[in-house]
Chains A and B, each alone.
Chain A
Amino acid sequence: MKVKLRYSHEAASKPVLAEIILKTGLLINIIEAKLTPKEGEMVIDIATQGQALKRALEYLRAAGLEVTELRSLVEVDRERCISCGACISPCPSRAIRFDESLDIEIDERRCIGCGICISACPRKAIQLI
């Protein structure tokens, strides 16, 4: 599950991520981070689901972070997409494939938000969200 974290003023000084990793033993992958001493934004991937995930998110919220759950990092504009498949094989994490009706689907659990599919798409149909 990917979540976007927003650090407020005070929370920025606390090592929240380190604490949550220590306490829960969860695997957390930092995908993107924009940090200044005062505030910041971070996209992380928490490698868990269900109750454990819920607890982790609660913990983050309690620490004063603004938490948004990310459905996916990229989004396909179905109006523009022509189901060509040019985005599929360039995806380094194999997150894109054809479904039965030959439309593409992006596996949000695999996507790392690298953006290669965005430039690979001849129809400019993929966007970061």
Chain B
Amino acid sequence: MTAEEFIEFVEQSGLEKAAKEVDVVTTGTFGAMCSSGAFLNFGHSEPPIKMVRCWLNDVPVYKGLAAVDAYLGATSMSETKPFEYGGGHVIEDLVSGKEVELRAESYGTDCYPRRSLETTIILDDLNQAYLYNPRNAYQRYNAATNTSDHILYTYMGTLLPRYGNVTFSGSGQLSPLYKDLNLETIGFGTRIFLGGGVGYVVGEGTQHKPQSGFATLAVKGDLRGMSAEYLKGAVFHNYGTTLYVGVGIPIPIINMRVAATAALKDEDIPVDILDYSVPSRDRPIIKKSNYAELKSGKVVIGDKEVPSSPLSSIKVARKIAETLKRWIEAGEFFIQRPIELLPNYREFKPLKIKKREVTVGDIMMPLKDLVLAKPEDDIKKVAKMIIEKNIDHVPIVSEEGVLIGIVTTWDLTRALAEDKKTLKEIMTRYVITAKESERVDEVAKRMAEHHISGLPVVDDVMRVKGLITSDDISRKLVGRRGV
């Protein structure tokens, strides 16, 4: 039976009876899986070519392989229609039997003299065409929201400003890997439903992190025999292209532990809602939720009811679990015991940037070169100072050097024209700032977002340490890179 039927059965008859009577539980998921693609062998032309660069419908295909072998990645984007058409769409077109344009270039060798070719291919023209996805079917996945005041376009979909919505991914109680939470039955060699055809697990997926419920799979299967219903090219606005992949795995109920995890419900599967407006690998957790709350269509965050919606298709996930069940019942699909189980612990390493990056502290104007002022200072006096020093920004500080406002040359000019007297009357109190340790490109982005040309650099208690301007950034950074 399907995982959802199994849940019901357990509720009615108890876990023990269910574990005894049910042999196999089928699962399914249908979501955007960026780490997907296909190995293709085009066959040799006459005269033959050692393809060095190659495109399918203008989508660049990886050619760091033998003469006519290639890897088409789902996120590779068309050079003529980027953000509209990509590798995922080519895979969908091939599987639908559509004609695809093949273009290739080479430098020509003694054994492979041809230097270019242009033709069309269909799936049946290829010698081999198999899906090989390095990371599919995340056990569970984080959900996303946005606390900033502008709309975000991410791989988690469109996120409206100020907690406008929550999006989530994965199929929850139908999730193949979650139903065998301790990875007791799934491993290298497991036969699975893949893209509407038959595929195999070929090992742990990249970024496999089973100890925290983020196990992943690498899978492989022949594209011939798959169906475009379960392989759909997709685009995330302003992010890029990807492929929706249908994966279904049969879970043999080999013991009570497996039965217990196969019976886990949406409310038992935790999901953290993360703030995607923080552009960091460690995004803050806004709320701890679960698939039941997320699937209900609204999530309560603080005192606000926020609409939530999936990115993966639950409807198609159910259909996959149903189809796999029918295949097994009809004797068309055999359960394969894995040759080797997946590791149930993997360290999850971040990428360290070893080369020192330029920080704000490296290029800012230091405190000693700045003109600072007090709120009660006379506008004329300050105007005279900035002319002498030839600067545009004057941070306004308290007795202790704590930032309380800022004025620019423009503010001063206008203030003089309007006959204002002290800085207090004209200063901007809400000041955007930077820290010495920040990377320069982040600060440059912040300046652009707020349309400002200079930021005071402050320490943790808001004492002014310096000032960084867009001029500093363009002059000094360009100088450093030796352009």
Distance (Å) between the CB of B207 and the closest chain A CB?
22
Q: A85-B311, A122-B311, A124-B235 are in contact. Are A97 and B297 (CB under 8 A)?
A: yes
Kindly state the separation between the CA atoms of A108 and B314 in the bound complex, as whole angstroms: 24
User: What mask results when residues 289 to 310 of chain B are scored 1 for a CB within 8 Å of chain A, else 0?
Assistant: 0000000010000000011111
Point out which of A86, A91, A123 has the most chain B C-beta atoms below 10 A from its C-beta. A86
Residues of A within 8 A of B314 (CB): 83, 85, 102
- In the complex, chain A residues 74-95 whose Cβ is within 8 Å of any chain B Cβ: 82-92, 94
- A122→B297 contact, CB < 8 A: no
B315 on the interface (CB 8 Å rule)?
Answer: yes
B316 on the interface (CB 8 Å rule)?
Answer: yes
4 additional A-B residue pairs with CB within 8 Å, beyond A89-B167, A119-B153, A123-B234: A86-B310, A89-B306, A122-B242, A124-B235
- B309→A116 contact, CB < 8 A: no
User: What mask results when residues 101 to 124 of chain A are scored 1 for a CB within 8 Å of chain B, else 0?
Assistant: 111000000000000100110111
A119 closest partner in B (C-beta) = B237
B236 on the interface (CB 8 Å rule)?
Answer: yes
- A116→B158 contact, CB < 8 A: yes
B166 on the interface (CB 8 Å rule)?
Answer: yes
A-B contact pairs, 18 of them (CB 8 A): A84-B31, A84-B310, A84-B312, A86-B309, A89-B167, A90-B157, A90-B158, A90-B159, A90-B309, A92-B164, A94-B307, A102-B318, A119-B153, A120-B158, A122-B32, A122-B235, A122-B311, A124-B235
B132 on the interface (CB 8 Å rule)?
Answer: no
Residues of B within 8 A of A102 (CB): 313-315, 318
Distance (Å) between the CB of A80 and the closest chain B CB?
9
Q: Which residues of A contact B (CB under 8 A)?
A: 82-92, 94, 97-98, 101-103, 116, 119-120, 122-124
Residues of B within 8 A of A101 (CB): 315
Distance (Å) between the CB of B274 and the closest chain A CB?
15
- A83→B315 contact, CB < 8 A: yes
Kindly state the separation between the CA atoms of A102 and B310 in the bound complex, as whole angstroms: 11
- In the complex, chain B residues 26-67 whose Cβ is within 8 Å of any chain A Cβ: 30-32
- A119→B158 contact, CB < 8 A: yes
Q: A89-B166, A123-B232, A124-B235 are in contact. Are A82 and B311 (CB under 8 A)?
A: no
- B165→A82 contact, CB < 8 A: no
A117 closest partner in B (C-beta) = B158
- B232→A82 contact, CB < 8 A: yes
Interface of chain B: mostly helix, strand, loop or mixed:
strand
Kindly state the separation between the CA atoms of A123 and B31 in the bound complex, as whole angstroms: 12
Residues of B within 8 A of A87 (CB): 309
A94 closest partner in B (C-beta) = B307
- In the complex, chain B residues 152-172 whose Cβ is within 8 Å of any chain A Cβ: 153, 157-160, 164-167
Distance (Å) between the CB of A46 and the closest chain B CB?
27
- B316→A89 contact, CB < 8 A: no
Residues of B within 8 A of A84 (CB): 30-31, 244, 310-313
- In the complex, chain B residues 110-167 whose Cβ is within 8 Å of any chain A Cβ: 153, 157-160, 164-167
Q: A82-B232, A84-B313, A123-B232 are in contact. Are A89 and B165 (CB under 8 A)?
A: yes
Q: A82-B244, A123-B234, A124-B235 are in contact. Are A88 and B309 (CB under 8 A)?
A: yes
Kindly state the separation between the CA atoms of A94 and B308 in the bound complex, as whole angstroms: 11
Q: Which of B236, B307, B308, B309 contacts A122 (CB 8 A)?
A: B236
Number of B residues contacting the other chain (C-beta, 8 Å)?
33
- A82→B297 contact, CB < 8 A: no
- A85→B30 contact, CB < 8 A: no
Q: Which residues of B contact A (CB under 8 A)?
A: 30-32, 84, 153, 157-160, 164-167, 232, 234-237, 242, 244, 297, 306-316, 318
Kindly state the separation between the CA atoms of A86 and B234 in the bound complex, as whole angstroms: 12
Distance (Å) between the CB of A104 and the closest chain B CB?
9
Q: A83-B315, A102-B315, A122-B32 are in contact. Are A89 and B308 (CB under 8 A)?
A: yes
Point out which of B153, B297, B318 has the most chain A C-beta atoms below 10 A from its C-beta. B297
B235 closest partner in A (C-beta) = A122
Q: Which of B235, B244, B306, B309 contacts A85 (CB 8 A)?
A: B309
Kindly state the separation between the CA atoms of A83 and B309 in the bound complex, as whole angstroms: 11
Kindly state the separation between the CA atoms of A92 and B307 in the bound complex, as whole angstroms: 10
Residues of B within 8 A of A120 (CB): 157-158, 237
A101 closest partner in B (C-beta) = B315
A90 closest partner in B (C-beta) = B158
Residues of A within 8 A of B232 (CB): 82, 123
Q: A119-B237, A122-B235, A122-B236 are in contact. Are A86 and B157 (CB under 8 A)?
A: yes
Residues of B within 8 A of A97 (CB): 297
Q: Which of B30, B160, B297, B312 contacts A92 (CB 8 A)?
A: B160
Distance (Å) between the CB of B380 and the closest chain A CB?
49
Residues of A within 8 A of B236 (CB): 122
Kindly state the separation between the CA atoms of A124 and B244 in the bound complex, as whole angstroms: 13
Distance (Å) between the CB of A91 and the closest chain B CB?
8
Kindly state the separation between the CA atoms of A120 and B297 in the bound complex, as whole angstroms: 17
A81 closest partner in B (C-beta) = B313
Q: Which of A82, A89, A124 contacts B313 (CB 8 A)?
A: A82
Kindly state the separation between the CA atoms of A94 and B316 in the bound complex, as whole angstroms: 23
Residues of A within 8 A of B309 (CB): 85-90
Kindly state the separation between the CA atoms of A74 and B40 in the bound complex, as whole angstroms: 39
Distance (Å) between the CB of A97 and the closest chain B CB?
7
Distance (Å) between the CB of A127 and the closest chain B CB?
14
- A103→B165 contact, CB < 8 A: no
Kindly state the separation between the CA atoms of A116 and B234 in the bound complex, as whole angstroms: 17
Q: Which of B310, B315, B318 contacts A103 (CB 8 A)?
A: B315
Kindly state the separation between the CA atoms of A16 and B240 in the bound complex, as whole angstroms: 46
